[in-house]
Structures are given as structure tokens and as C-alpha cells.
Amino acid sequence: MSTAPTTQIQLPLEPEAGRRKLSTAKAMVEAIAQQMHTDEKVFVMGEDVGAYGGIFSSTTGLLDEFGPERVIDTPISETAFIGLGIGAAVEGMRPVVELMFADFFGVCMDQIYNHMAKIHYESGGNVRVPMVLMSAAGGGYSDGAQHSQCLWGTFAHLPGMKVVVPSNPYDAKGLMTAAIRSDDPVIYLFHKGIMGLGWMKKNPRSIGAVPTDAYEVPIGKARVAREGKDVSIVTLSLSVHHSLDVAEKLASEGIDVEVIDLRTVVPLDREAIVASVGKTRRLVVVDEDYQSFGLSGEVIATAAEALPGGLKHVSRVAVPDVPIPYARDLEYSVLPTPARIEAAVRQAVAG
Amino acid sequence: MTVQSALSATDRLNLLRMMVLIRTFEEAILREYHADKSPGFDIGAGLVPGEMHLAAGQEPVAAGIGAHLSLGDAMTATHRPHHLAIAHGVDMRKMAAEIFGRETGLGRGRGGHMHLFDPEVHFSCSGIVAEGLPPALGQALAFQRAGTDKVAVAVAGEGAANSGAFHESLNLAALWKLPVVFVIEDNDWGISVPRSASTSVPSNAVRAASYGIPGTRVEDNAVEDIWAAVGEAVRRARAGEGPSLIEVHTLRLWGHFEGDAQGYRGDLEGVPGRDPIPTYQKHLTDAGILDDGAFTEMGAAASATVEEAIAFAKSSPLPDPADALKYVFTEGAQS
């Protein structure tokens, strides 16, 4: 184990996005394909990742390009195939394994948190598990309580997994590239609502500019999605877009909102949170995960620990600890909608 | 040619030698474990803290498997892993140091006796019943893809055969013809619950039929029969013919863990008579290839090896508490 670096590590500069536009799904697939071309040890495995191309288009076209030896459809046996990914990673392969919905982690959680996440630590750093476990998260399309959860807070609570959550095509490609190249296990959670799927209500930012070449978005670095001075919204994934929409709307009223896109839940970019909240002194956390015992509390604790007495406002807009309801109006009453975010920001600046 | 006759006298002596080495190690751990846990048994106290699951009585399984594996083959074991680790060639000094929670241990004191990882010989174990099986599939896949004839052996207890991970793993390994050998150690007890209360199937080996793979049950903890069954399964796996399942009716000579009074066991009276080591010693003596002097010498050699490992462990430094956050991720501690 090397000692702590004495100089600041220079992170790779992210390239300019350029003009070519891709959907988030296509950006993800491009990252996987590029890494498969670069490194023959990379392979993809999961349910319906082959001919179907991934239920949420996360692997579309890979079977045609790489064949069934490297794009492997599995039986519905998450414990076996995620565990298989672990063993293959331990032997030097670099599996990208899809758990179709994050909601399904319960049937295979032991392999995820007791094995994938702990082997490196338990082995005293002697065994590496360079594996990506990608999964679809999020609701908003009436898929009900067992197919709409985010759960990134659950994965993040358990040490040993990095947890990345892109909000747009540029980040989706860069974070996937970084995840595949990482020697650590990485949970890669993509929100269905940002994938740019033809059969789902499109978020306008689900299609965006993406560089052609391979590049990394560094794991553990947040992004200032919009600069502002009055209130900080700290958020991630689809909620970034809702927050930006709210910020643009309120700008005309003279309310200047800063939006921080966390990009990564583990490691959490606490510096970025503190820097923003230290400036605005007002914090609204927007999180599509359950409210209690999760990311929103962690962000607030981070700000409170770093800025004792320095906060004028703290609140959160999250799912209020209920299973995600099916009926559309019920579901949208618990999701962090733009209306809820806007109300929270107005309250923040009023105080 | 009978199965047994395929074993040379040297092979047979080596099986016994391995069993003696394992037992000697387990007895030394037992001694060290209890040395400083009194007055009043305190599981977290002493030089070897925590739960301790010893494998006395199950040595034939480890010896029978280990005889067929070479460097590069993989093994995943259970929470009762020492016998399998030793037979698979895990560095005994580093293993002892890990059990003693030392910085020189396999996991630098982060793993403990249920979580031993030795990448040099592709060995790992898991504290969760049946969950050591799926990673073996991935090791096997990696070997298959690399074009080698290496195999992965996945060992579990009979209680694990009732778990989903067991069935998912057999199905997937059979489907993809992975070079895996599944071995079930049936020691009759899932902690305190007899196998008769866990499953209606008299032999877990018959479950292999559900997946279209060979299943064999070896009775009486017979090391040479285990050797033969594993040999055939390893041959199949190396030849690309896919996985096999072997169940061995073995024996848990001691408690589930140290400190287990075993009040639930009705079979304890007959247990010493089933100890496989004196049984096999007599077998080889009757066959005329072992005498008392050679057996004593075997024990002395084992003792020297084991005591050297124990001494290494005890004299090794403890991990620095300030380093407890190291190794969560590859580059060190993270938020």
C-alpha cells in the first residue's frame, strides 16, 4: 500500500463535449464498446443483454459487434451470475454485469455487499475485484413499488463499492469508461428517465453532446451544473434536470440557484458540497431515493459538520419513506418533482 | 483394476500425511484459541479472538481434493476452511498469522479465519453459507476463456445444498459446461440442526440429476473413495466435459465452533471411533505400507511445520489501528 500522496493528484481533464449528440443509452454503450475493443478482458453479462440489447438499451448492438462469447445472456439467476462476475474479476477479467433493475438487488445482495465489496478489504488489498455492476434505477412511469426505486443510498451505505450515477450522456460515457477501467467494484446506476428511450417520456437533456474518443469522468468529482449565489441544490441523476429547470424559472425572479450534480455517491465529493453551501449558506438536497437514513441526510451532515452555525437554511426534497405508488398521481405526489423543488427553493430564500 | 489400486503406496501415504498435517494444525489452533480465554469463556478475548470453526474429522475431504489439484487451480471454501486451505497449498505461515490477526497474515488481519484469500494459489473462502459457490463459476469461466485446463473446486456444507445459490450455481455451471467440481461436505449437522431436519433428500448427490451432471455420494469419510471421485470429476472438468457434484459423508469431530457444548448431539459417543485418521492409519498399516515409526515420524514432521507457522504468527506485528481504513478501495481509504 502506498502512502498518502503529498501532492495533489492531477485528474484527467475532461474533453470538450463537441457537437455530436447521443442519447444517454447510446453514450453508455459506446463507452462499453470502446473498452471492449481496447481490453479483451472486458465482457458483458446479464439478463437480456444480448439480442434484446438490454431492457433499457444499455447494451444495444454489442452482441452484433462482439458476439455471444463476450456479450452473454444469463438465466434469471442473479446470485450465480453476479458471483460469477466476481470470480472472473478476481482472475483478472473485467466484467460489466447488469442487474436489470436496482430493485432486484435483494435476490443477490450477499454477492454484492459481502463478496464483491469486501474481498479487497478482507484480503488486505491482495485481491482486486475490477467489476462494474450496472443497473436501472428510478421511477416516474408507473412501474410500481418493485420496479421504480433508486436505492443508491443502500449501496453507498455499505463500504467497498464505488457508486456512480450519471445525469446526462456526457457523464454516462465518461463515468462508464472510468468504471470499467477502475480496479475497484463500481455500481453504475442509470435512471431510466435520462436514457433517452423512445418509449418513455423524454427528458430534453437525455440527448446531448458526447466526444467520440474514449475519456473518463473522474469517479468522486461533482460538477457545478449551474452557478448561483443564493441557494445550493445538491442533487444527482434525473433530479439534476428538474433542478436546472427550476433554477432557470426562478432566475427571472432574481433567485440565483446553484445546482451541484454529485455524479458519484461513493466517494462523495464533500469538498464540492461544502464549497457551494459555504458560498450560498442555503442548502436544498434533492434526492429520488428514500428520505430517511440516506444520501440526503449524508449531504446535510457533511455541510453541518463543515459549516457549524453557517447555514441559513437546510431542507430536502426526497421520497417520503413510502413504497413508490403505482397510480400516476400518487407516484408524482412522492417523487421530487419540479413543483416540490421550486417550493423548497422559495422557502429557502425566504428564510 | 479397482479404484484403490490406482493409488500408489506413496500416494496413500501422502493422503495420510496431509490428514495428519491438517489435524496437527487444527489441534494447535485449538490449543492457542483456548489458552487465554479463561476464567470464564470470553469469545472475543485472547490471541485468537472471535468464532473458531475447526475441521477435525473432515480431513479426508481436503486430502482427497488436494491430491488432484495443481498450482493455478482454484478453490472456494466455507466458513470452516483450514483443512481445505492447507490441502490446496495456502501458505500456512500467512494463514496462521491471519488467524492471529497479524499484519503478516493473508489479509493483513482484515479478514480473519473465515475470510482467507490467497491469490497465489487461487484460494478463497466465505463466511456465508453457499455463497462461496458463485465466485468459483467465474474463476472457472476465466480459466475456460484463457484456454487452460485449470479447474475450480467449490466446497460447501450439506446445509448449503438447500440454498438458492447452490442451485443457481449448479444450473449455470452445467449450462455453460464450466470446469467446476462441486463438493458437499455432509457432516450431518448444520450447526445444531441434523440434515434429516433440513431436507427430504437422502443424498444431495442426487440433486445433480436436476442439472444433468454426474452426482456421486461417498460414504464413510473414506479418503481413497473421495480421491477417486474427485479424480474423475477433475478429469471431466479438465477435459471440457463440465461440472460434477460430489457429496462426502464426513464427520464433524468437534463442535460447530469452539465453545459449542453440543448438547444437541446424540451421536457423540460413537464419534471418536469414526475418527478418520486412526482408521486410515490402521488401513495402511494392515496393507503393510506403514509402521508405527513412520507414523510417528509423520506426526513429528507435521508438528514442526505447524509450530513454526504458529510461532511466526505469534511473533508477527499486529496491524496498526491507524491503518484500519486502508484497503477499502485499491488506492486506500476513501470517504
Do residue B133 and residue A83 have CB atoms under 8 angstroms apart?
yes
Picking from A135, A304, A303, A148, the residue whose alpha carbon sits closest to that of residue A234 is A303
pLDDT over 60 at B161, yes or no: yes
For A84, the grid coordinates are 460469477
Domain containing residue B144: 6-316
Within a domain: B119: yes
Q: Does B163 touch chain A (CB under 8 A)?
A: no
CA B251 and chain centroid, separation: 13
- Chain B closest CA to A21's CA: distance in Å? 34
* Residue A271: per-residue pLDDT: 98
Of A75, A110, A126, nearest to B172 by CB-CB distance is: A75
Mean pLDDT of A50-75: 97
* Shortest CA distance from A107: residue in chain B: B164
Scan for cell 494444525, then name that residue.
Answer: B25
* Residue A3: per-residue pLDDT: 45
**B111, B81 in Cβ contact below 8 A?**
no
Scan for cell 441544490, then name that residue.
Answer: A233
Q: Alpha carbon of A170 to those of A202, A203, A214, B192: distances in Å?
A: 17, 15, 11, 56
Mean pLDDT of A138-156: 97
Do residue B172 and residue A162 have CB atoms under 8 angstroms apart?
no
Do residue B134 and residue A126 have CB atoms under 8 angstroms apart?
no
Average pLDDT across chain B, whole number: 95
* Shortest CA distance from A265: residue in chain B: B335
Q: Alpha carbon of B1 to those of B5, B6, B83, B188: distances in Å?
A: 7, 7, 30, 32
Point out the least confidently predicted range of A36-45, A318-327, B30-39. Answer: B30-39
* Shortest CA distance from B175: residue in chain A: A75
Mean pLDDT of B58-80: 98
Number of domains in chain B: 1
Within the 277-336 window of chain A, which residues sit less than 8 Å (CB to CB) from chain B?
none
Q: Does A50 touch chain B (CB under 8 A)?
A: no
Residue A200 pLDDT level (bands cut at 50, 70, 90): confident
Of A87, A184, A268, nearest to B335 by CB-CB distance is: A268
Residue B311: HSE in the Cβ half-sphere, 13 Å Cα cutoff: 6
Residue A242 pLDDT level (bands cut at 50, 70, 90): very high
* Helical pair A338-350 and A238-251, crossing angle rounded to 10 deg: 50
Q: What are phi and psi of A274, to 5 degrees?
A: -65, -40
Mean pLDDT of B162-176: 98
pLDDT over 80 at B334, yes or no: no
* Residue B39: per-residue pLDDT: 83
Give A160's contacts in chain B (Cβ within 8 Å).
328-329
* Residue B1: per-residue pLDDT: 37
* Residue B38: per-residue pLDDT: 82
Distance CA B116, CA A122 (A): 8
Torsion sign (Cα): A106, A112, A115, A118: negative
Mean pLDDT of A231-237: 98
Distance CA A235, CA A243 (A): 8
Within a domain: B214: yes
Mean pLDDT of B191-217: 96
* Residue A198: per-residue pLDDT: 87
Angle, CA A344 vertex, CA A340 and CA A346 arms, to 5°: 115
* Residue A4: per-residue pLDDT: 46
Residue A80 pLDDT level (bands cut at 50, 70, 90): very high
Do residue A125 and residue B119 have CB atoms under 8 angstroms apart?
no
- Chain B closest CA to A233's CA: distance in Å? 21
Within the 245-274 window of chain A, which residues sit less than 8 Å (CB to CB) from chain B?
266-268, 270
Within a domain: B329: no
Within a domain: B322: no
Give B127's contacts in chain A (Cβ within 8 Å).
114
Select the residue from A41, A78, A79, A184 to test the B interface by mutation, using most B Cβ atoms within 10 A: A79
Q: What is the CA radius of gyration of chain A?
A: 20
* Residue A310: per-residue pLDDT: 87
Residue pLDDT, tens place only, B89-139: 999 999 999 999 999 999 999 999 999 999 999 999 999 999 999 999 999
* Residue A7: per-residue pLDDT: 54
* Residue A287: per-residue pLDDT: 98
Say if residue B291 is exposed, middle or buried (CB neighbours under 10 Å; 0-12, 13-18, 19+): exposed
Give B169's contacts in chain A (Cβ within 8 Å).
79-80, 83
Distance CA A13, CA B137 (A): 39
* Residue B98: per-residue pLDDT: 98
- The beta-carbon contacts of A138-141 under 8 Å, at least 24 apart in sequence, are A138/A191, A138/A192, A138/A193, A138/A237, A138/A238, A138/A288, A139/A288, A139/A324, A139/A331, A139/A335, A140/A192, A140/A193, A140/A201, A140/A238, A140/A331, A140/A332, A140/A335, A141/A192, A141/A193, A141/A200, A141/A201
Q: What are phi and psi of A100, to 5 degrees?
A: -55, -50
Kindly provide the ipTM of the predicted complex, given to two decimals: 0.93
Q: What is the CATH number of the domain that holds B199?
A: 3.40.50.970
pLDDT over 60 at A41, yes or no: yes
Distance CA B172, CA B184 (A): 17
For B163, the grid coordinates are 440454498
Point out the least confidently predicted range of A19-28, A325-334, B38-47, B91-100. Answer: B38-47
For A159, the grid coordinates are 463500504
Q: Does B143 touch chain A (CB under 8 A)?
A: yes
pLDDT over 90 at A22, yes or no: yes
* Residue A13: per-residue pLDDT: 78
* Residue A8: per-residue pLDDT: 54
Within a domain: B152: yes
Within a domain: B327: no
Q: Does B329 touch chain A (CB under 8 A)?
A: yes
Q: Kindly state the percentage of chain A with pLDDT values over 90.
A: 93
Picking from B86, B105, B87, B84, the residue whose alpha carbon sits closest to that of residue B96 is B105
* Shortest CA distance from A127: residue in chain B: B119
- Chain A closest CA to B134's CA: distance in Å? 4
Active site residues of A: 147
Q: Does A146 touch chain B (CB under 8 A)?
A: no
Within the 68-87 window of chain A, which residues sit less than 8 Å (CB to CB) from chain B?
69, 74-75, 77, 79-87
Instruction: Kindly state the DSSP code that residue A112 receives in the 8-state scheme.
Output: I
Within the 67-126 window of chain B, which residues sit less than 8 Å (CB to CB) from chain A?
74, 76, 105-112, 115, 117-119, 122, 124, 126
Residue pLDDT, tens place only, B255-307: 999 999 999 999 899 999 999 999 999 999 999 999 999 999 999 999 999 99
* Residue A47: per-residue pLDDT: 97
Within a domain: B334: no
Torsion sign (Cα): A191, A193, A195, A199: positive
* Residue A5: per-residue pLDDT: 47
**B154, B136 in Cβ contact below 8 A?**
yes
- Chain B closest CA to A60's CA: distance in Å? 23
Within a domain: B217: yes
Mean pLDDT of B2-31: 91
Mean pLDDT of B172-180: 98
